[in-house]
């Protein structure tokens, strides 16, 4: 996830509901994944990335590994208790997805 998207969500605390902030995080994370993995974009029918391939360079892997900290950091700014029951489940599943990502595990182990 891009730092600029993260900052916008973090800065929206108190200006948007926690649910709005959570769903903005979901959209930003989804867009990030479509940008980083254009084959996913093609597979899901999202237009505009069909001319690209995933960057498998060492630099890209290292950058994506560093960027895996961002969604977890943003999620931590969202008050889970202020969410509806359904959004609490979405929050928990998203947190689990981020924390169980191989890139997140590699990023945490490099600290």
Look up the pTM and report it.
Answer: 0.84
pLDDT of residue 28: 96
Task: Tell me the pLDDT tens digit for each residue of 39-96.
Answer: 999 999 998 898 899 999 999 999 988 888 899 999 999 999 999 999 999 999 999 9
pLDDT of residue 102: 67
Give Dmax over CA atoms of the chain in angstroms.
42
Cα 6 to the center of its chain, rounded Å: 9
- CA angle (90 as vertex; 73, 3 as ends), nearest 5: 25
Rounded-to-integer distance, Cα 34 and Cα 86, Å: 25
pLDDT of residue 101: 77
């Amino acid at each position: 996830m891009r730092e600029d998207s993260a900052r916008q969500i973090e800065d929206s605390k108190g200006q948007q509901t926690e649910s709005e902030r959570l769903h903005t995080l979901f959209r930003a994370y989804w867009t990030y994944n479509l940008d980083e993995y254009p084959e996913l974009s093609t597979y899901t029918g999202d237009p505009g990335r069909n001319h690209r391939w995933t960057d498998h360079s060492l630099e890209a892997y290292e950058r994506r590994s560093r960027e895996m900290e961002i969604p977890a950091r943003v999620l931590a700014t969202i008050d889970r208790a202020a969410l509806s029951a359904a959004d609490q489940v979405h929050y928990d599943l998203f947190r689990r997805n981020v924390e169980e990502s191989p890139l997140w595990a590699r990023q945490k182990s490099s600290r």
